[in-house]
Amino acid sequence: MEFLNWLYAILTLLIALIVALTFWSRKKTQYKILAIIIGLFCFAISYGSMLEILSRPKPKNLEVLNKYTNELTLLHVNWVEGEAIYLLVQLEGLVEPRLYKFPWNAAQAQEYDEMLEKGRENGEEVKIANPFYPTNTEERKTLVYTTPAKPLPPKEAPEPGITSYDPNVTEKLLDYRDKREVQ
């Protein structure tokens, strides 16, 4: 997400530079006004398109930065039959999960779903090895497997609460008992 902010800032500066060069050139006033209007439209369109991209799943073949990831953790699977498989995954070293769109494969969708159910029943994480394999499936095979869940942190010994010591407690209890018997 932070990367997208920097990308938008750089894109905005480049558009502003082009508009400034056009504005300060020896062109007619109508061209200068047209350059400013086009620049403002470019700002708005680039901002809107970047916001729209954030809500879409990333196609598997467009993954660039994490293309050579050896394994990832499967969090959720959903599919539209005949169109695509949507996987919500957690990549190693990243805080936010990612949503990917994989090409439709009925056997693969069923395998993801079964392994996710098995992992939930046993309290295990579901891992996918070689998720962004090349199109030639003989080169690299995608493996889906469950791993034991991470153990919980060790519990700390309970600390006793704060107590107060009253050396005259026996006398007070006896006095209380005597007062109750008299009544």
pLDDT tens by residue, 8-18: 889 889 989 98
- Number of structural domains in the chain: 2
Q: How many CA atoms lie within 13 A of 166 on its CB side?
A: 6
Residue 174 lies in a domain: no
Spacing of C-alpha 8 from chain mean position:
21
Boundary residue ending a domain (33, 54, 75): 54
Is residue 141's pLDDT more than 70? no
Residue with tokens 């098995």: 118
> Mind listing the pLDDT tens digit for each residue in 7-55?
888 988 998 998 888 878 888 888 888 888 998 998 889 888 888 877 7
Residue 115 lies in a domain: yes
Residue 17 lies in a domain: yes
Pair (81, 143) in one structural domain? yes
> Mind listing the pLDDT tens digit for each residue in 94-133?
888 989 998 898 988 898 899 899 888 888 888 888 777 6
Task: Judge whether 95 and 87 are in contact, CB under 8 Å.
Answer: no
pTM: 0.61
Residue 89 lies in a domain: yes
Residue 28 lies in a domain: yes
Residue 167 confidence class, pLDDT cut points 50, 70, 90: confident
Residue 171 lies in a domain: no
The whole domain housing 74 covers 59-147
Pair (106, 63) in one structural domain? yes
Task: Judge whether 76 and 119 are in contact, CB under 8 Å.
Answer: no
Pair (84, 118) in one structural domain? yes
